[in-house]
Amino acid sequence: MPTGAANTHVIVFANEKGGTGKSTTAVHVAIALATKGARVACLDLDHRQRTMGRYLDNRAATNKRTDSGLVVPRHATGDGKSEANFDALMTDLGADADFLVIDTPGRDDPIARIAATRANTLVTPMNDSFVDFDLIGQVHPETFKVTRPSFYSELIWDARKVRAKADGTTIDWVVLRNRLQHIEARNMRRVSDALDQLSKRVGFRVIPGLGERVVYREMFPSGLTMLDAKEFGAMALSHVAARQELREMMAGLALPETALAEVA
C-alpha cells in the first residue's frame, strides 16, 4: 500500500457529489500548509475536469508573469484508469513531502475509493442541506432524525477497515460544512442535529469550512487564494472574513505540527 514517504501526511478530499467546494478547499489547505513552510505536493485524480490541477497551473503562470514569489506546490494529475499510475504518483509526490493533498472526482470513481484507504485525514466537504446530507445519512421526513447511514458512510467505513488491517492506521474522517451563512436558520439547526447524531454512529468529526463567496470563483483564473494578501492590495471586509474562516478551518482539521500554526 504505497503512501509516499513514511512521514508524509496524506489528506484526501472526497465527496461523490459535485458542487461542494471540494477542489477550492483542497487548494486553500495546500497553500495554507505551504505558506507556513511545509513541503506540500498535490495530486488531482479528476483527469476530466482537473480543477485542482488547473488552479495550480494558473497559480504557476501568475507567479511567472508577475514574479510575485507565490508558493506553488508540486502537482500532478492521475490518468483516472489504473491503480499502478496512482501508486506511482503517490510514491513520487510523497517522497519529499510533509503533506500530500489529493483531490478526487465528484462522482463514484474506483481510484477515488482506493485513495480513501490511503488517507491519514479524509475530508468530505458538504453544503449545509439535506440534499448533501443524503450522501452520508438518511433522515425521517417529519422528525429529521437519522434513520440509517447512507452508502457513502458505509464506503468510508469499509475504507477505514481496510487501512486498519493493512497498517493499523486510523483514518481521521472530517465532514466539512461549507457555505453555512446563506442557509435558513431552522434548516441549519436540523442539519447540525442530524450530523451530530450520525457522527456518533459512524465516527466522523464535523468542522466549519469556507463560506459562499464570489471571491473564490474570481481567484481561479489567477490561481490566487485568500492567503495571497499582497496580491489584493486593500482587502474588503469580505476578504478579511474569508481569511478568518480559513484560519478556523485549518485549526479544526488538526493536522500535524506545521498545520497547527496560525495561518498568516
Q: How confident is the model at residue 31 (pLDDT cuts 50, 70, 90)?
A: very high
Task: Please give the Cα distance from 45 to 49 (Å, whole number).
Answer: 9
| H-helix or E-strand spanning residue 12 | strand 9-13
Q: What ranges do the domains of the chain cover? A: 9-260
Q: Are 29 and 12 in contact (CB under 8 A)?
A: no
For residue 260, name the pLDDT band (cuts at 50, 70, 90): very low
Grid cell at residue 67: 514574479
The pLDDT, as a whole number, for residue 167 is 92
One-letter amino acid of 136: I
Q: Above 70 in pLDDT, residue 22?
A: yes
- pLDDT of 184: 62
Task: With cut-offs at 50, 70 and 90, classify the pLDDT of residue 52.
Answer: very high
Residue 210: per-residue pLDDT? 87
Tell me what pLDDT residue 17 has: 85
- At 76, give phi and psi (nearest 5°): -150, 165
Cβ atoms of 6 and 91 within 8 Å: the answer is: no
pLDDT at 251 over 90: yes
pLDDT for position 236: 65
Mean pLDDT computed over 156-182: 89
Return the pLDDT at 262: 45
Residues 93 and 100: their CA atoms lie apart, in Å, by 7
Whether 62 has a pLDDT exceeding 60, the answer reads yes
Q: Taking residues 196-218, what's their average pLDDT?
A: 89
Mean pLDDT of the chain: 89
Whole-number pLDDT of residue 180: 63
pLDDT of residue 149: 96
- Reported in sequence order, the residue ranges of 35-184 that DSSP labels E, i.e. its strands, are 40-44, 74-77, 99-103, 121-127, 137-139, 146-149, 172-178
In the sheet with 121-127, reading across from the earlier edge strand, the strands are 74-77, 40-44, 99-103, 9-13, 121-127, 172-178, 205-208
**pTM higher than 0.95, yes or no?**
no
Rounded mean pLDDT, 62-88? 94
Mean pLDDT, range 178-205, rounded to an integer? 84
Q: How far apart are CA 240 and CA 246, in angstroms?
A: 10
Spell out the CATH class of 9-260. alpha beta
Closest-CA residue to 16 (of 133, 110, 116, 135) = 135
Average pLDDT over residues 203-208: 94
- Checking if the pLDDT of 179 tops 80, the result is no
Q: Residue 177, exposed/middle/buried by CB under 10 A (0-12, 13-18, 19+)?
A: buried
Q: 100-118: per-residue pLDDT in tens?
A: 999 999 999 999 999 999 9
pLDDT of residue 4 exceeding 80, the answer is: no
